[in-house]
Structure 1
Amino acid sequence: MAINTERRKLLEQIMPETMIVTRNWLANKAFLDKHAIDNLVKSEQLKLLWPGLYTRGKSQLSWQSMVYTLQAVMKTDFVVGGLSALELKGYSHYIPISKKETVHLYGNDKLPGWANKLTEKVAFKRHTRNKLFSGMEKEISEKYTTTVTWKLELDELRISYPERACLEMLNEVPGKISIENAGQLIQGMTTLSPRTLQNLLEACTNVKVKRLFLWFASRHNYIWFSKLNMDKIDLGSGNRVIVKGGKLDKTYQITVPKDFQY
């Protein structure tokens, strides 16, 4: 009885409600073997969510708790990025058409099978860094991340810098995000860091994204835009079609809407 009481207290201390952990985490942090974990599940002190995956308490799962598990418990390289990161930083108020909330994760690790199985309310979309930053290592990638607090009981979530998230978002144009919505988002980005943008634009290997970003930036003529060194940014050669049937912007060699308002 005393051992069970001690285990319960230990779990309450190191494992807040709604936190999702793995069997390995329980073995390393709480020194619980398979038999002890199975007994905690039987006594309903732990809830089995998926083979080898557990939570505590009766609160509903959130996508934040799942991302926390990917980042802090499983130590994957995923960060919340693109439109999802911009929403967390208050740049976007995009209303999805689908009832499912899409959370954009950026990293080269494999997304576990349970990520899109535990709840029907969330869909995780995995993006590799290679789409924008071919060859960028995890250590370099982490330099362009920040953290947000989502719940007092748990630590913070890693998300992309707004500058990086903006480039990630633009890679979804026009297939998943309209150029009009992208324009509305960038319209509010008045305080981006020119130094961070310079580094990211030099590291970015996606010509379309770089040209589209600079085209948007030039329209607003933000202070940070005037501080960019264009000579160090490789914009490739040849035209890129962003919108079919549009007009060619000769400066950035992209085809954009004829009567764009943003």
Structure 2
Amino acid sequence: MSLEKEHKINSLLRGWPQNAVYLTSWLVENGYSHQLLSRYKKSNWITSLNNGAYVRSGDSATIEGAVFALQSQSHVSIHPGGKSALNLLGKAHYLEFSRQQYILFGNENERIPSWLTNYNWEMKLNYYPTSFLPADFGFTEVEINGFSIKVSGAARAIMECLYLAPKKQDLKECYELMEGLNNLRPNQVQQLLEACKSVKVKRLFLYLANKCRHPWLEFVSVENIDLGKGKRQIVADGVYDPKYKITIPKNLVDE
């Protein structure tokens, strides 16, 4: 190997964060040809993930490492959301959290690539493309193994949980998650609720926050939030709450 090529691979590997994924397309755009990548693979410096991405040999690709690639190299808004985001933020530690499934959200016109869906992450990957919340607000950065990724902040994440409820996210668990969110920023909550397109999410969010008696709720101007008209049956055979005009599970009322 020439000194130039040796320097090239050494430079690549030195800057490669642990367990992070690099997209084939990004590597090619940055001067690493398919032929060169094939040579690196045969030399066991990098390992292919279903032909669309690579991980450094010896590392174990993680979903967060895959999200890092999507966000930093293909510039999509796909991000950990819902309970997965709350877990990364340390807001779900008092619940039994299982890595049997991982929740990603993105814009309604974004799709996750086949290399990511076809790779064996040893857990179920659930992706929800939707535009019920604004695409550019309510996020925070989390650093993992030397790289950072954008994840839903706590307020956005609990709204994503409520978006999935009750069919794909248990409402009782949403309440338990909400109980731990006693320091949300009222101005951020206000902006998210005003921009939220789901009446169900807004009513459930306010109901749970009120039930938890969070002090920050006093600083949220509910009159500026469009809660729609009429009743909403969240579950069948539930209990009707006249304040927010929703039918909720009996086990939630009894809490």
Q: How does the TM-score come out when normalised to structure 2?
A: 0.90
SS in 2 for 1:175: coil
Residues 60-82 of structure 1 deviation map (CA, whole Å, 9 limit, x = unaligned): 22111111111112211112111
Distance in 2, matches of 1:117 and 1:123, equals 11
Q: Take 1:123 and 1:149, find their aligned partners in 2: how far apart are those partners? A: 23
Q: How does 1:95-134 map to 2 (within 5 A)?
A: 95=96, 100-108=100-108, 109-130=110-131, 132-133=132-133
Instruction: Give ranges in structure 1 of 5+ residues lacking alignment.
Output: none
Distance 1:57 1:246 in 2: 53
Q: Deviations over 1:101-148 (max 9, x none)?
A: 323333331111121221241332222232x23xx4xxxx23321101
Determine the structure 2 residue equivalent to 1:19: 20
Partner of 1:144: 138
**What's the offset of the Cα at 1:209?**
0.9
- Which residue is 2:77 aligned to? 77
Deviation at 1:14, TM superposition (A): 2.6
Tell me the distance in 2 between the aligned counterparts of 1:160 and 1:18. 21
- Residue 52 of structure 1, CA deviation: 3.5
Matched-pair contact (CA < 8 Å) for 2:111–2:129: no
Which SS does the other structure have where 2:229 is aligned?
coil
Give 1:161-172 correspondences, 5 Å limit.
161-172=153-164
Confirm whether residue 228 of structure 1 aligns to residue 193 of structure 2: no
Matched, 1:210 2:202: yes
Task: Work out the CA distance in 2 between the residues paired with 1:231 and 1:159.
Answer: 29
CA-CA distance at 1:17 after TM superposition: 4.4
**Greater Cα shift, 44-53 or 200-209:** 44-53
Shift, 1:227, TM fit:
1.1
Report how many residues are paired.
Answer: 251
With over 3 angstroms needed to count, the CA separation of the structure-2 counterparts of 1:85 and 1:16, relative to structure 1, is closer
| Counterpart contact for 2:22–2:55, Cα < 8 Å | yes
Q: Tell me by how many angstroms 1:36 deviates.
A: 1.7
Instruction: Name 2:167's counterpart in structure 1.
Output: 175
Contact 1:83 1:104 in 2 (8 A): no
Distance 2:210 2:165 in 1: 18
- Hey, what's the Cα distance between the residues in 2 that align with 1:145 and 1:256? 29
Aligned with 1:39: secondary structure? helix
Give the root-mean-square deviation of aligned CA atoms: 1.9
- Secondary structure of the 1:142 match is coil
Give 3-state SS (helix, strand or coil) of 2:144's partner.
coil
For the residues of structure 1 that align with 2:173 and 2:17, how far apart are their CA atoms?
38
Deviation at 1:151, TM superposition (A): 0.8
> Residue 61 of structure 1 contacts residue 119 of structure 1 at CA under 8 Å; is this kept in 2?
no
Tell me which residue corresponds to 1:201.
193
Report % sequence identity: 27
Aligned equivalents of 1:246, 1:103: Cα separation in 2 = 27
Bigger mean CA deviation after superposition, 43-52 or 99-108: 99-108
The TM-score, its normalising length taken from structure 1, stands at 0.88
**Which range moves more in the overlay, 163-172 or 51-60?**
51-60
* Distance (whole Å) between structure 2 residues aligned to residue 101 and residue 258 of structure 1: 27
State the 1:221 CA deviation. Answer: 2.4
C-alpha distance in 1, partners of 2:140/2:97?
A: 25
Q: How does 1:22-101 map to 2 (within 5 A)?
A: 22-29=23-30, 31-93=31-93, 94-95=95-96, 100-101=100-101
Give the 3 Å change call, closer, same or farther, for CA 253–12 of structure 1 in structure 2: same
